[in-house]
Amino acid sequence: MKPNILVIDNEDTIRENVIEFLTSHNMNLLRAQTGEQGLEKAGQEKPDLIICNINLSDMEGFQVLETLKNNTETSFIPVIFVTRKSSRKIYRKAMELGANDYLSFPFTNEELLQAIRTRLQTSTVPYANSDSINTTNSKQGDIDTLQEKVNTLSKKEKMQEQILDKLHEDLRSNLSKIKIAIYMLKNEANADKRQRYIKILEEECNWEMELLDKVSELRNLLTPDNLKFLERYDFLDKLKLNQ
């Protein structure tokens, strides 16, 4: 029996990509562009699982979740949130309201598929054969999963702050060298020495640009998938960021 999945997302490209991917994995898909449409379809179709964007055009995904949980006909439906914004505050609010999982962009199709399979296996809806599942244990598992995500995000933010502090320190150090080279260049008449100071300026400017490029790559580096790798090899210690 194919599970019925409702996707509530006002971003057309994301919604249709998710629907296309999950359809190829033997699932029946329902779509809604707004929170109001999503609530209406949830009440009519009673899907096995709902994927909902937190930032909808007419209401927040949190409001959708609260409405679902307050309705006995839809309160049992597991909800997975997706969002472009990630913070401990949002994670915690999702957990408190009863969300079953939370994915922040960028995430892979496989991560989404795994989250769906996990929720369906532990869900209290008929599709998941929930008669043999203890509801209390299922809810506790959801809380533990979200708490783990909160902890992961906290580590990510700490790493990001430490690395940015290190980059800031390096940028200031290089700027000091540039200022010294400019001062010496202004007061040096010897052509060879002036050329040497110009070379120093070029090297330090190139290094500044490399550091700025690293800042732009920081978001891609500090993904949840990379956190275990960074911790395993003491990445921060090797960069002397914990001192």
Residue range 171-195: average pLDDT? 73
* Angle subtended at Cα 55 by Cα 52 and Cα 59, rounded to the nearest 5 degrees: 90
**Residue 142 lies inside a defined structural domain of this protein:** no
The pLDDT > 70 percentage for the chain reads 63
In this structure, what token pair is assigned to residue 218?
Answer: 């920081």
- Of the listed ranges 8-17, 50-59, 202-211, 228-237, the one predicted with least confidence: 228-237
100 lies in the same domain as 169: no
Global pTM value = 0.53
Polymer length in residues for the chain: 243
**Residue 228 lies inside a defined structural domain of this protein:** yes
159 lies in the same domain as 126: no
Residue range 86-100: average pLDDT? 81
180 lies in the same domain as 123: no
pLDDT reported for residue 145: 64
118 lies in the same domain as 15: yes
Count of alpha carbons within 13 Å of 180, Cβ hemisphere only? 9
Query: CA-to-CA distance for 160 and 210, rounded, in angstroms?
Result: 18
Query: CA-to-CA distance for 11 and 38, rounded, in angstroms?
Result: 14
What CATH number is attached to the domain comprising 32?
3.40.50.2300
Band (8; pLDDT cuts 50, 70, 90): very high
**Residue 75 lies inside a defined structural domain of this protein:** yes
Q: Whole domain around residue 209: which residue ranges? A: 154-238
- Of the listed ranges 37-51, 210-224, 227-241, the one predicted with least confidence: 227-241
Count of alpha carbons within 13 Å of 159, Cβ hemisphere only? 25
Peptide bond before 106: cis, by omega within 30 degrees of 0? yes
Residue range 171-181: average pLDDT? 68
11 lies in the same domain as 129: yes
128 lies in the same domain as 224: no
Q: Is the pLDDT of residue 26 over 70?
A: yes
34 lies in the same domain as 103: yes
CB atoms within 10 A of CB 108: 10
Show which of 133, 166, 200 is a domain's final residue: 133
129 lies in the same domain as 195: no
**Residue 148 lies inside a defined structural domain of this protein:** no
In this structure, what token pair is assigned to residue 74?
Answer: 């839809």
Instruction: Between 139 and 158, name the one with better pLDDT.
Output: 158
91 lies in the same domain as 164: no
* Angle subtended at Cα 179 by Cα 201 and Cα 242, rounded to the nearest 5 degrees: 90
Confirm if 230 and 159 have CB atoms less than 8 A apart.
yes
**Residue 243 lies inside a defined structural domain of this protein:** no
**Residue 140 lies inside a defined structural domain of this protein:** no
13 lies in the same domain as 127: yes
Closest alpha carbon to 99 in 60, 152, 128, 127: 60
The count of structural domains within the chain is 2
Mean pLDDT of the chain: 76
Confirm if 204 and 181 have CB atoms less than 8 A apart.
yes
Q: Is the pLDDT of residue 154 over 60?
A: yes
Query: CA-to-CA distance for 83 and 126, rounded, in angstroms?
Result: 28
Query: CA-to-CA distance for 206 and 12, rounded, in angstroms?
Result: 41
Closest alpha carbon to 38 in 48, 49, 52: 52
**Residue 147 lies inside a defined structural domain of this protein:** no
**Residue 146 lies inside a defined structural domain of this protein:** no
121 lies in the same domain as 218: no
124 lies in the same domain as 159: no
Distances (CA, A) of 223 to 13, 82, 140: 23, 15, 26
Strands of the chain (E only): list them.
4-8, 28-32, 49-53, 79-83, 101-104
What string of H, E and C letters represents the secondary structure of 146-207?
A: HHHHHHHHHHHHHHHHHHHHHHHHHHHHHHHHHHHHHHHHHCCCCHHHHHHHHHHHHHHHHH
